[in-house]
Amino acid sequence: MEFFDTIVAILESTIRVSVPLIFAALAGLFTERAGVFDIGLEGKMLGAAFAAGAVAAVTGSVLTGLMAAILISVLLSLVHGYASITQRGSQIVSGVAINFIVAGSTVILGEAWFRQGGRTPALDADARFQTVTFPFADAVKDVPIFGPIYSNLISGHFILTYVAFLLVPFSWWVLYRTRFGLRLRAVGENPGAVDTAGISVIWLRYRAVICCGILCGFAGAYLSLAMSAGFVKGMTAGKGYIALAALIFAKWRPVNIMMACLLFGFLDALAIRLQGNPLPFIGQVPVQLMQALPYILTVILLAGFIGKAIPPKAGGVPYVKER
């Protein structure tokens, strides 16, 4: 039974750490499927986390914090959009620039406004997300097997956690079952086809970039308003890059993205659990190895061992009417 409890505990933390990955990877899905590569997921998430933490600390309202996160993230997305869609600059350079600017400016602004070494003040319960307890969660807690699964795994998460998981089928529906999705996927494969069909390539790509901003806003708000009680400098800690790896690992497909994020989240949760707990026969597993696994898996995938990951054909290439 103790083993079972351990498993449930690991899965519970898997879900907890997967949520920002799912938000961010879905964000990347929207832009990259539209042909705009986005290495700046990390920066947008970090900027959103800071905005959420700062605004929630000042206003004491969790919703205002969330709105601020989305606003900042969308603005950063528009910067990326302006550089790479309108000005046809390098999408990689623009993304990296956003990551650096945000990493620096959040610390500077945080220190200037709150004088707590780049942190935002710790949030009260009202100013952060609370966990949701499903009906009968407490009642069934002690039922064997089902009890812990229901009360710990299914119930007891933040509202944003449920939003993240509902966004997976929703994103699928948008991409594959709506006109917007059809056009968005088309513009990532052959923008010429979209242009000659009488649709604006630029406006379509901007809309995709805005979708990305909104979702990164959720990811950031989750970090500072749900997972922690406030912003800590560099709190994304590479999650944006892991999300990017998950996006590639999932071959740019929504349901696969959820699976990949859960896998990477599981590795993360396992790494935390294994810290200081040597495994039988194997001994101590280095934490660094576990942390590197998502990247190692992605590289193996890219090398072609687990099928081929074919990116959207027009990805990374600014659209220029042929002359």
Which residue ranges make up the site for other proteins (CB under 8 A)?
176-183, 185-186, 189-190, 192-200, 313, 321-323
Nearer to other proteins, 178 or 284 (CB): 178
115-117-120 Cα angle (round to 5): 70
Q: Which residue has the tokens 């990326």?
A: 80
Q: What are 42's two structure tokens?
A: 């990390």
Distance CA 31, CA 242 (A): 16
Nearer to other proteins, 143 or 182 (CB): 182
Q: What are 110's two structure tokens?
A: 């945080």
Q: Which residues contact 132 (CB under 8 A, 6 or more apart)?
A: 155, 156, 157, 158, 159, 162
**Burial class of residue 304, CB neighbours in 10 A (0-12, 13-18, 19+):** exposed
Nearer to other proteins, 198 or 283 (CB): 198
Q: Nearest distance from residue 211's CB to other proteins, in Å? A: 15
Nearer to other proteins, 100 or 173 (CB): 173
Q: Nearest distance from residue 34's CB to other proteins, in Å? A: 13
Nearer to other proteins, 109 or 193 (CB): 193
In this structure, are residues 161 and 261 in contact, taking their beta carbons and an 8 Å threshold?
no
Q: Nearest distance from residue 199's CB to other proteins, in Å? A: 5
Distance CA 110, CA 92 (A): 27
Distance CA 138, CA 155 (A): 10
Nearer to other proteins, 22 or 247 (CB): 247
Amino acid at 172: W
Q: Nearest distance from residue 196's CB to other proteins, in Å? A: 4
Nearer to other proteins, 175 or 223 (CB): 175
In this structure, are residues 66 and 222 in contact, taking their beta carbons and an 8 Å threshold?
no
Distances, alpha carbon 156 to alpha carbons 94, 136, 225, 278, in Å: 39, 11, 16, 30
Q: Nearest distance from residue 41's CB to other proteins, in Å? A: 24
Q: Nearest distance from residue 183's CB to other proteins, in Å? A: 7
Q: Nearest distance from residue 192's CB to other proteins, in Å? A: 5
Q: Nearest distance from residue 191's CB to other proteins, in Å? A: 9
127-264-4 Cα angle (round to 5): 85
Nearer to other proteins, 101 or 199 (CB): 199
Q: What is the DSSP-derived secondary structure letter of residue 286?
A: P
Distance CA 249, CA 169 (A): 18
